[in-house]
Amino acid sequence: MTCLSCGTPLPHRTGPGRKQQYCDSTCRSAARRQRESVNSDLTSPAPAGTLGAVKAAHRQLLESQELLRDAVERARAEGRTWQEIGEVLGTSRQAAFQRFGRPVDPDTGQPAVGLAGAADRALVLLGDCVAGRFDRMREDFDRTMRRELTPEHLATVWARVVGSVGRFERFGEPVQHAAGDITVVDVLLEFEAGQVTATVSFDREGKVAGLFFRPA
**Mean pLDDT of all residues in the chain?**
79
Beta-carbon count within 10 A of 24 CB: 11
DSSP string for residues in 108-164: T-SB---STTHHHHHHHHHHHHHTT-HHHHGGGB-HHHHHH--HHHHHHHHHHHHHH
What is the CA angle 123-59-214, rounded to 5? 45
Tell me which of 203 and 56 has the higher pLDDT: 203
Confidence of residue 36 (pLDDT cuts 50, 70, 90): low
12: DSSP letter: P
Other beta carbons less than 10 A from residue 1's beta carbon? 19
Q: Which of 6-10, 127-131, 183-187 shows the highest mean pLDDT?
A: 127-131
Helix (H, G, I), strand (E, B) or coil at 48: coil
Q: Give the tens place of pLDDT for each residue, 51-99.
A: 777 767 766 766 777 788 788 888 988 899 989 998 988 877 766 775 6
pLDDT digits (tens, 9 = 90+) for 117-130: 788 889 999 999 99
- Which of residues 136 and 100 earns the better pLDDT score? 136
3-state helix, strand, coil in the chain (%, to 5): 50, 20, 35
pLDDT surpasses 60 at 131: yes
Residue 170 CB coordination number (10 Å): 19
Separation CA 186–CA 67 (nearest Å):
19
- Report the C-alpha gap between 135 and 149 in whole angstroms: 10
What beta strand segments (E) does the chain contain? 168-171, 175-179, 182-191, 194-202, 208-215
Is this prediction's pTM over 0.85? Answer: no
Whether residue 180 has pLDDT greater than 70: yes
Classify residue 167 as exposed, middle or buried by CB count within 10 Å of its CB (0-12, 13-18, 19+): exposed
Helix (H), strand (E) counts: the chain = 8, 5
Top-confidence residue, 144 or 34: 144
Contacting residues for 197 by C-beta, under 8 A, at least 6 apart: 186, 187, 188, 189, 213, 214, 215, 216
